[in-house]
Amino acid sequence: MDLMANVEDLKGIGPKTAEILKKFGIKTVRDFFYNLPRDYENFSRPSAIREIRPGKIVIKGKISDLSSRRAKKRNLSITEGVVRDSTGAIRVVWFNQSYRLHQFASDKEYYFTGVYELKNGRWQLTSPSAALASEVEITGGPSPVYVAHGGLKSGDFRRLMNASRDRFAGIPDLLPTVSSGVRRESLFKVHFPESSSDIQVGREYLAYEEIFELLFAARLNRRENEKLRAVLVPFEKERIQKFVGSLPFRLTNAQRRAAWEIFQDMEKNVPMNRLLQGDVGSGKTMVAALAAYEAVGDDGGGHRQVAILAPTAILAGQHYESIGPLLSRFGVRTALLTAATKKKAELKKQIAQGEVDIVIGTHAILTDDTEFSNLVLVIIDEQHRFGVEQRQKLMLKSPSGLSPHLLAMTATPIPRSLQLTVFGDLSVSILDELPAGRQPVTTQIMNELEMREKLYPLMLDIHGRAPDAKRHGEHARGQQIYWICKAIEEGTSEVTSVKKRAKMLCEMFPKLRVEFLHGKMKPLEKDAVMERFADGSIDILVSTTVVEVGVDVPNATLMIIENAETYGLAQLHQLRGRVGRGASEAFCVLLTSGDTAPTRRLREVEKSNDGFHLAEVDLKLRGPGEIYGALQHGALDLRIATLSDTRLIARAQKDVEKFLTNPENMVKYKELMANIQKYQQITTLN
């Protein structure tokens, strides 16, 4: 069977259904078979309502008395109803699912699966899933639950999968390291399990398959990188010591260690491929300055060149203002290149002729007419903000036949297990110390109902404090505040919008200067708002997560994150890092909605400022897909495997090495080679 055939080759999938599937990435027969169930339910033994106990339950009955209302004092819709069977009745409640009001027919029976619990003094079934009883096939075993796509519900996927049941026998083997037929048997058991053990056996193989492909891609990347050549940059001890001695502050031990690792890498004629990771404020920019100064060298006027790429013009300008003055005293010529740079043609001519040593800029550096005479080092700040093609475009600006050394920086810590597997070809330097004077951020979880009593007084107190002593702006009247929202305008998301929240805060604090910022604004508009906030002309900045990586504002000492329970742990930590960048005490409020208790994710952020600890927790709570998606363009998208399974990883690593000993395997296993290409793109930096 050809797994790469169009999904329409499968029985029951016509042009309209195929069009829906393709919108959600299900384009081929393989995509369809690998669209795995998100959960399983057992409808064969529903509980009688009079016999139910607290916890997860399955009941069968008819629903009536449906109604929907808005909750008082919060942006929340509540849909309620009553489910009855022959033994009794139970109250069901959905939050922010008003479509449920029109979903059910009063004369038909449904299976409801959810958690039966005590809420606000009343017993209820909270946010249950629902399936029309006549459409549920009772097999006696677990029934798969699929993610709905467009108009296709879980039941539709069960029906389509059942129509293709006989096609599973034709699924070919993928890996040479397992017994023949294991792949098709595993996929069949996952989609048509007769017991929970079937699910476990099937998922274990599929997890191994994912880990094998991931490690294989990383191993191939390492092999390819070892073939590249770069300019050897000799370590100049006295020159570096003189530069470090001129700094107005003392480097941390972590900064010294990271710089030394970079210097050693650049002394080789194989391109450095190093990731510098550390929490916000740990001093990555200073390490980058040391690397750039070393790379430029002092070779009698024929200076080597460095490119420093930042995701925004504001961040590029900030790097230019902090790095430029430090290096200019030693004769290093630094230039800023962004879309707003005046006389760009003249500057690009100087860069091409080698009259500029270090170019700091944004995407403007990537244009075809930006040429370097001797580019030996590329530094990418917040490198996950740039796509694979963008990074590779910059790497090709080196002298013919050579690749530049690469230093990528991120403030999103990577769990050690990810470092050892996903980044098999990557060296990692860690800044695990904060410079002297840096304050930890005090974090507090607060329900939205407590805003008037607790949050608003805290905001007034923060604004009443004297500006941070390190600020240089002339406009600040007090310390400043970030307020983070999810959506730009109100709609079906049910989340308070940036614009509406800004208006509410203007009415609440008429004497304070409130402005908003979001990703749909034009770049120059966003830059102008951030510049006003940076110079103290704005007291409260209401924003989406566009400020997650942004300009350094030491005078901002309070971060408020609305609907905090909807954010990932790493993103919460990154947002919190926007404050506490000066000498003053800083605070972060995680604002929650609804009646549910704070999640473990929020509790972990509340009690810890250690980004590396939080990264490990995040990996356990969410899996690697979302974490890696935040680190680099593209998503890891591991559907089953977990990188905390050291036993499985060890087995796959051994099998990958064995596979690579036979060059014929690279030709023989064509589907495997095609599969790993996506992993190769997202598991390398250059």
**Helix H or strand E encompassing 326:** helix 313-328
Residue 282 CA, chain-centre distance (Å), reads: 20
Closest CA to 332 of 272, 381, 290, 379: 290
* Inter-residue contact 338 to 314 (CB < 8 Å): no
pLDDT for the residue 489: 45
Residue carrying the six token digits 């590396």: 612
Which has the higher per-residue pLDDT, 337 or 151?
A: 337
- Whether 627 shows a pLDDT value over 60: the answer reads no
Question: Phi/psi at 320 (nearest 5 deg)?
Answer: -60, -40
d(C-alpha 562, C-alpha 599), whole Å: 15
- Whether 625 shows a pLDDT value over 50: the answer reads no
Residue 391 CA, chain-centre distance (Å), reads: 18
pLDDT for the residue 422: 56
Look at phi and psi of residue 133 and say left if phi exceeds 0, alpha if psi is from -120 to 50, else beta.
alpha
Closest CA to 7 of 24, 34, 26: 26
- Whether 190 shows a pLDDT value over 50: the answer reads yes
What integer is the mean pLDDT of 92-103? 89
pLDDT for the residue 666: 82
pLDDT for the residue 494: 36
pLDDT for the residue 631: 42
Which has the higher per-residue pLDDT, 388 or 331?
A: 331
Question: Phi/psi at 352 (nearest 5 deg)?
Answer: -65, -30
pLDDT for the residue 381: 86
- Whether 633 shows a pLDDT value over 50: the answer reads no
d(C-alpha 334, C-alpha 249), whole Å: 22
What integer is the mean pLDDT of 548-556? 76
d(C-alpha 487, C-alpha 20), whole Å: 26
pLDDT 10s digits, 199-216: 999 999 999 998 898 888
**Helix H or strand E encompassing 131:** strand 122-132
d(C-alpha 280, C-alpha 411), whole Å: 6
Which has the higher per-residue pLDDT, 344 or 684?
A: 344
**85: pLDDT confidence band, cut at 50, 70 and 90?**
very high
Q: Enter the pTM of the model.
A: 0.66
- Whether 131 shows a pLDDT value over 70: the answer reads yes
pLDDT for the residue 385: 56
Angle of helix 284-296 relative to helix 237-245, nearest 10 degrees, comes to 140
pLDDT for the residue 424: 55
pLDDT averaged over every residue in the chain: 84
Closest CA to 484 of 566, 551, 385: 566
What integer is the mean pLDDT of 125-140? 80
pLDDT 10s digits, 424-453: 556 788 888 777 667 789 999 999 888 989
* Inter-residue contact 183 to 173 (CB < 8 Å): yes
What integer is the mean pLDDT of 519-545? 87
Neighbours of 84 (CB within 10 A): 15
pLDDT for the residue 91: 95
**548: pLDDT confidence band, cut at 50, 70 and 90?**
low
In CATH, what number does 441-608 get? 3.40.50.300
Give residue limits of the domains in the chain: 1-42+153-171, 45-137, 441-608
pLDDT for the residue 595: 67
Q: Would you say the C-alpha torsion 116, 117, 123, 127 has a positive or negative sign?
A: negative
DSSP line for 577-610: TTS--SSS-EEEEEEE-SSSPPPHHHHHHHH---
CATH among 3.30.1600.10, 2.40.50.140, 3.40.1160.10, 3.20.20.140 for 45-137 = 2.40.50.140
Question: What does the DSSP 8-state code read for residue 15?
Answer: H
DSSP line for 379-418: EEETGGGS-HHHHHHHHTTSSTT---EEEEEESSPPPHHH
d(C-alpha 144, C-alpha 157), whole Å: 9
DSSP line for 188-210: HHHHS-SSHHHHHHHHHHHHHHH
pLDDT 10s digits, 598-611: 888 899 999 988 77
d(C-alpha 670, C-alpha 657), whole Å: 18
- The single-letter code of the amino acid at 564 is A
Angle of helix 624-631 relative to helix 569-576, nearest 10 degrees, comes to 40
Q: Which of 312-316, 429-433, 498-502 reaches the highest mean pLDDT?
A: 498-502
